[in-house]
Chains A and B, each alone.
Chain A
Amino acid sequence: EPEVTQTPSHQVTQMGQEVILRCVPISNHLYFYWYRQILGQKVEFLVSFYNNEISEKSEIFDDQFSVERPDGSNFTLKIRSTKLEDSAMYFCASKRTTDTIYFGEGSWLTVV
């Protein structure tokens, strides 16, 4: 069964460093998302991406965040200058035109 894959599974970075989280959505999907889950808290929407542009972003997704689909398969989330409060599990997700959004296994980001 096709699935969303994410790398790395876990990354530790120093505060102020740039981080890039990578995702390969399901191949025929058209809508792409990033969500995050701070430890012990609920899953929060960050950004959605469709037709090569951001279609919606949350208040969390400030200027330190960016997304890119550099080729036909990858979808990346970049955090320019990480803060301690960026420590979380980051989930990539995708959907085609059906209603179900499928999630990856997540990337744990720890900022120290």
Chain B
Amino acid sequence: GAGVSQSPSNKVTEKGKDVELRCDPISGHTALYWYRQSLGQGLEFLIYFQGNSAPDKSGLPSDRFSAERTGGSVSTLTIQRTQQEDSAVYLCASSSGQGNSPLHFGNGTRLTVT
């Protein structure tokens, strides 16, 4: 079956512009996560959606970052007024949400802010 799909795979934007990154999770997965990975670094947690519960936004680095999950499926991560330090790979993952279950990752969106 299809895995987690992210689009675009690459995005180059000018400083100050807004960007939207999209994630299509595995069908039926109720939990969805966004992580950020800078060059040569580990994964930094951003936000976590679980079913109809309020999302855990504790990892969002500033109020320029926001995310939505519509209809319990597709998610969009929005970065407003992008800065150069926002350049990174943004990874989306989903899981079944049943007890302890592994996250399945997409291949990420590489964001470059010039």
Decide whether A and B assemble into one complex. no
A interface vs B, CB < 8 Å? none
